[in-house]
A and B are shown apart, each in its own frame.
Chain A
């Protein structure tokens, strides 16, 4: 039994679809080269936000970080968070972001906590809190 011309066309289209991924390196559903976790991560910092009534969304304060799943900004979603490449955040940058959103979130203050995991020169892996900032609305 031989392949019908339409079957051959379908297979060729699938092959082209797959091969086109390599030079284009897309991350747009339904095509992707699956770049998540592709960095050789040696450090990773992320932030959490707490208000007077408990935890708050990091997205709401522009503090979210998608470094793990999108290690390089050219891929798909890139949240411009304050921990680029998993590096520790800059205090002034965090304060500016939080102050932009305190009023709309209806809270007088927040505490931003940074946790860091990093590979140490002695071969061990450190994990712990590396910053804690209380930020209040500007008077």
Chain B
């Protein structure tokens, strides 16, 4: 890839829309999954910060509440472009603490906050690195200038897509390492659904048709393994976006596993943005 192509600029509305959507999606996830302090046995740390911060922090609810307040305030100020550099850094640090606190306190690790964290990290990097360019646009008195100004380097959405795609790819490689190609044969999908959602209509469909279960599970396996290529390469992006969105929608429908942050990023960057760009270029050409 030509590195200079990554420096080309896109309208600011893309980053502002992504920021608002991911920030709101994260808040919904945090509200829907109330924090827990578990008294059970924890053999290992589930957060990097667990290795450096005192154990007592993970038992204090106030630490979570203060981090949540900072995340809410920081995100709102960042989106409103009020001290954007400071507020972006505060927002990302607060989410790091929130995610760490939840991971350390829960007996079952949850991964819903990884993609929002990485997305906001990249957006904060953009806010800090392009602060002078953004400050000029912010100084403009024209309404909505930031949304029209071409101030978002292509590397911003592209690196979010690559990081998200890489997460799916490593997850697919974990499955290949543990179960080989046979992981996608539909057996474990039927076992999980029978165990965790025995009365669900989709459980009955897959139990009655092992071939259909194998197709669905194989699609997930190979969709994950090649996700980094599929999301990084523009022609494949909407197709991989739709496969991964379907995967998340069915997980949410059957097992109640809510990955709202992933869904928002995939929908905006892998489906809406490429389709909108394509339609716009066709309109311009005609």
A contact set with B: CB distance below 8 Å: 1-4, 6-8, 10-11, 14, 18, 21-22, 25, 27-44, 46, 59-60, 62, 64, 66, 68-73, 76-80, 115, 117-119, 123, 125, 127
Contact = CB atoms under 8 A, between A and B. Distances in A.
B118 A30 contact: yes
Contact of B6 (A11, A46, A79, A125): A11
A62 B195 contact: no
Interface stretch (B96-104, B265-273, B278-286): B96-104
Nearest to B47: A29
B159 A14 contact: yes
Nearest to B193: A125
Contact of B41 (A3, A70, A71, A80): A80
30 contacts: A1-B7, A3-B3, A7-B6, A7-B155, A18-B163, A18-B166, A25-B174, A29-B47, A30-B48, A30-B96, A32-B111, A32-B167, A33-B173, A34-B168, A36-B111, A38-B179, A38-B183, A41-B192, A44-B192, A62-B41, A64-B40, A66-B108, A77-B46, A77-B107, A79-B40, A80-B41, A115-B195, A117-B191, A123-B210, A127-B198
A29 B48 contact: yes
B218 interface: no
Nearest to B170: A33
Interface residues of B, number: 68
B178 A72 contact: yes
Given A62-B41, A77-B107, A30 B99 contact: yes
Q: Which of B49, B178, B191 counts the most A-chain CB atoms under 10 A from its CB?
A: B191
Given A38-B171, A42-B191, A1 B9 contact: yes
Given A62-B41, A64-B40, A79-B107, A30 B173 contact: no
